[in-house]
Structure formats: structure tokens, C-alpha cells
Copies of this chain bind each other. A is one copy, B any other.
Amino acid sequence: MSAKSFFRRLLKEVVHPSEDLRVERQARKAIDLCRALLSEQGEFSGAALARDALAAYHELPESGISAFFDHLVHEFSPDTGEVVRAADAYRDNPSWDRLLALQRSAEPARQELFRRLNMAKDGTAALVALRRQVLRGLKTHPDWRAIDADLAHLFGSWFNRGFLRLERIDWNTSAIVLEKLITYEAVHQIQGWQDLRRRLEADRRCFAFFHPALPREPLIFIEVALTRGMSGAVQPLLEVAAPVAESGRADTAIFYSITNCQDGLRGISFGNLLIKQVVQELQAELPGIGRFATLSPLPGFRNWLDRATGQSGGLANAGATLEPLQRLQTPDWYRRPELAQQLEPVVLQLAAYYLLEVKTNNEPLDAVARFHLGNGARLERLNWLADVSEQGMRRSAGVMVNYEYHLADVEENHEAFAREQRVIASADVRRLARAARRLLPAGPEQPPRKEGRRKKRDAP
């Protein structure tokens, strides 16, 4: 299946033979070291060979990496004939030994290779980086998903939650870790060390998961503001010059940012666990805090809105009722009170509708909603002009959501969500969504699900 890319490379080699040959020779050398590592010799002097193999890989130029990955796919995959033979033997007599033999023949040698590469100093970090590289090339090299699958399987085992350590991050943390927060933070960018410092003051908290093999690499981190009342706007929380409040007086913890740090660990989920452990930590440290909620964007809202309003049969037919939405095109409309006032009811209703009703594969279309609702949070409140940053306006029309985590309810909420696709939301939010439905013509998209939902929604 990767024959095409293979020939392309061959072809290229014909055109620029010398340079390409050199690179291919380099890639071949790295592969040969991998082979040696997998041999009996690798068992014996693993760490040194692993180091050499990784060094050879790290020296490869871009095109060499590509060749290296192609080799990994073609030369370290199971042998089809062998797998078929093992499968036939198992079919004839489904004994334990034959099942084991089948398992072994079906497991790519790559998995053992990666396990052995891990013996090198900083091997784990190197493998996580290698997978990031694989993921980046996946679109143009679809057969690399063989490598991806092996690493994903391995990382799922290595980064087991039982091996993770929750650590509080504050101004006592080492600069090498703090600098990574600045680099990684994706939700509300950290504007240098002063900004970071404000986010680690007495009225803020920050926690991260670490793995023992990556002691200075946060896997995921969460930023929390300790407030009085449930924050409905993020800019005040990010204000570097804001006075520091006493943590003891807070009654609410607002999770205003959660960031996955390692692209190479994509698909291995830490967020759900992190939020719940942080809730427990905060409950123990600050008994005065009774409420735990996020302040989250609706990153797909504007996008959906634009598509929906442009679509025949969708909002486009709503006519006059949705006219105010055209004001969203006005630059800086949120600074003009009369525009903002006109937009508020329409946008909030549509946002509620978007979160509660617009689905993909039976789950909310909005990724953030999917994450928190899947974790058992409750969609508590929509906030108007809550994030007026460029990104906040462009993606969420300035709206933000409070998803509330009430530990006693999360399991039940989660069940409702997972089994019945039921979104747990406050009465206010549900009211907004109902109002939106009146705005909307019966489109082709909604009816079937709406039916299903209505029934379920009556249940509780």
C-alpha cells in the first residue's frame, strides 16, 4: 500500500542520485542499528545500542526520517504468511499455546523495537517525539499509522494513570518546567514571565501530571482561579495587574484553562482524571470552596453558526428573526453597546442550542462540550461577552460556558451522557435552547434527534 511512496522515493533517487543515496544510506544505517537492537545482541547490550540507534535517527534530515519511517513500516511489520499460518493452526485447535503463537506472530516487531529503544537515556522522550513526527506526516503517509498504532499501544501501557504524579506548579517550581507552561499553554496564551507569575499567585492554582520517565515534562496542566462567585468573564482572570485575593476567602474554583502538552501522546487521555484529582486536592486544601466550574470556550460555535446561516434549510431560512446575526460581521461590535444588546439574546439562545442540540455521532459537535459533558460535568451557565479576545470573538462569538463539576453527580451525569446521549444542563440553559428552537425553522438535520432527545429529556 505504501508502494507508491516507495516508488516515488526510488524515482527521486534516479533524479538526484548522489544526495538521495547518501540520505538513504543514513536511513539504512539507522534501520540496521534497529535490527541489531532487536537481535539477540540487543537483548544483551541494549542500552548502548538503543542510544546509537536513536542517535542515528536524530541525525537524519527530513527526507531521511521519511525513509526511516517507510522502512519501519515495511520491514518491522508482521509477516503475512506467518500470521495466516498461526491463525490456521489456531482455527484447527483453539488452544492456549496456539492463541499465544497467533498473538506473537501478529504483534509487529516494531513494538519490541520501541521497548528496547526506551532503554537509552531519555529514550521515552525520544519515542514521544518520534510519534509526534509520525502523526505530523500521517496525512501524506497514511501507512505510517502502523507505526502510530504501535506507539499508541505502548504509550497506553506506559502512561497508565497509575504511574502519573499530580504536582502543584507554583513559583517554587523550576524554571525549566515553568518555561514549558509558557510554550504549551494553548487556551489563553501566557504573555511571558510576568503573566505566568500572576497565574501562580495565592489566588490561583496550577496542577500538572508528570510521568517518572519525563520528570520535567508536564503531560497536561490545568489553571485554576480561586474566586468569590462563579466567574462569567475570562479577561478579569487574566489581568496581570489584578490585585491578589486571599485564597481563604474564595468560594469557587474556576478552571479556566486545560492544556495537553505532548502531541506525541495524542489519544491517551489525562484530562478527566486531572480535573477530578484537582477538585479533591482543592477540597482538602480549601474547605471554603464549594463550587468547581470551568470557564470554557465554544470553539466550534462561530464556525457552525456561519455554516448554519449559509445553508439552505438551516438557519438561512430563519429570516428576520436571525437578522441581528449579521452584526457579527461588524468589526469590534462588542464595543458598541447597542449592537451587543441586540445580539445578546439571539447569540446566547443559539449557543445553548448549539451545545445541547447540534451533534456529531450522537455527541455534541463542540469538542470542549464533548470533553466536559463526557467527564460528567453539568452545563451550568452561558456568559455573554465573556472572552473578548480576538480568538474568543472569532471562535465563540465572545460567549463562554461554565461547566460545573459536582463530584457526587459526575458519575450519574456521565452515565446519562454516555448511554443516553443526554446533556445535563441547568434550567436556564435549557430554556435558552428552547427559545432558539422557536427561532429556527424545522431544518432537515434536527427532527429525528429532536424526537429522540425529547423523550429522553422527559425521563428525569
A376 at interface, CB cutoff 8 A: yes
Stretch of A16-24, A83-91, A437-445 on the interface side:
A83-91
Q: How far is the CA of A333 from the CA of B212 in the complex (A)?
A: 55
A286 at interface, CB cutoff 8 A: no
Which residue of the partner chain B has the closest CB to A153?
Answer: B103
From B41, B156, B193, contact of A415 by CB (8 A): B41
Which residues from chain B contact A212 at a C-beta distance below 8 Å? 163, 212-213
Please determine whether A173 and B172 come into contact, CB atoms closer than 8 angstroms: no
A151 CB, nearest partner CB in chain B, Å: 12
A259 at interface, CB cutoff 8 A: no
From B106, B143, B193, contact of A102 by CB (8 A): B106
A358 at interface, CB cutoff 8 A: no
A174 at interface, CB cutoff 8 A: yes
Which residues from chain B contact A192 at a C-beta distance below 8 Å? 193
From B41, B106, B273, contact of A99 by CB (8 A): B106
From B94, B118, B158, B176, contact of A171 by CB (8 A): B176
Stretch of A44-52, A64-72, A249-257, A450-458 on the interface side:
A44-52
A216 at interface, CB cutoff 8 A: yes
A136 CB, nearest partner CB in chain B, Å: 19
Residues A99 and B118 in contact in the complex (CB < 8 Å), given A44-B411, A212-B212: no
Chain multiplicity (copies): 4
Please determine whether A90 and B83 come into contact, CB atoms closer than 8 angstroms: yes
Q: How far is the CA of A212 from the CA of B211 in the complex (A)?
A: 9
Q: Which of A47, A161, A197, A415 is most buried by chain B, counting CB atoms within 10 A of its CB?
A: A161
Which residues from chain B contact A415 at a C-beta distance below 8 Å? 41
Q: How far is the CA of A177 from the CA of B227 in the complex (A)?
A: 28
A143 CB, nearest partner CB in chain B, Å: 7
Which residue of the partner chain B has the closest CB to A96?
Answer: B146
A3 at interface, CB cutoff 8 A: no
A117 CB, nearest partner CB in chain B, Å: 8
Q: Which of A83, A118, A157, A192 is most buried by chain B, counting CB atoms within 10 A of its CB?
A: A157
A162 at interface, CB cutoff 8 A: yes
Residue-by-residue, is A146-171 near B (CB-CB < 8 Å gives 1, otherwise 0)?
A: 10010000101110111100000001
Please determine whether B83 and A94 come into contact, CB atoms closer than 8 angstroms: yes
Which residue of the partner chain B has the closest CB to A120?
Answer: B162
Q: How far is the CA of A47 from the CA of B162 in the complex (A)?
A: 8
Please determine whether A96 and B1 come into contact, CB atoms closer than 8 angstroms: yes
Which residues from chain B contact A47 at a C-beta distance below 8 Å? 161, 273
Please determine whether A45 and B157 come into contact, CB atoms closer than 8 angstroms: no
Please determine whether B176 and A145 come into contact, CB atoms closer than 8 angstroms: no
A175 at interface, CB cutoff 8 A: yes
Which residues from chain B contact A102 at a C-beta distance below 8 Å? 83, 87, 106
Q: Which of A399-418 contact B (CB under 8 A)?
A: 411, 414-415, 418
A14 at interface, CB cutoff 8 A: no
Please determine whether B95 and A90 come into contact, CB atoms closer than 8 angstroms: no
A218 at interface, CB cutoff 8 A: no
A201 at interface, CB cutoff 8 A: no
Please determine whether A160 and B106 come into contact, CB atoms closer than 8 angstroms: no
Which residues from chain B contact A87 at a C-beta distance below 8 Å? 83-84, 87-88, 90-91, 102
Which residue of the partner chain B has the closest CB to A411?
Answer: B45
Q: How far is the CA of A177 from the CA of B286 in the complex (A)?
A: 27
Q: How far is the CA of A212 from the CA of B164 in the complex (A)?
A: 10
Known A-B contacts: A96-B149, A124-B163, A158-B163. Give 10 more (CB < 8 A).
A83-B87, A83-B90, A96-B145, A118-B160, A119-B162, A171-B179, A172-B216, A175-B175, A179-B197, A192-B193
Give 10 nearest A-B pairs by CB, closest first.
Answer: A87-B87, A212-B212, A118-B162, A80-B94, A119-B161, A172-B174, A123-B162, A193-B193, A119-B162, A171-B176
Q: Can you name 6 A-B residue pairings with CB atoms under 8 Å?
A: A44-B272, A46-B273, A96-B149, A103-B106, A118-B161, A163-B213
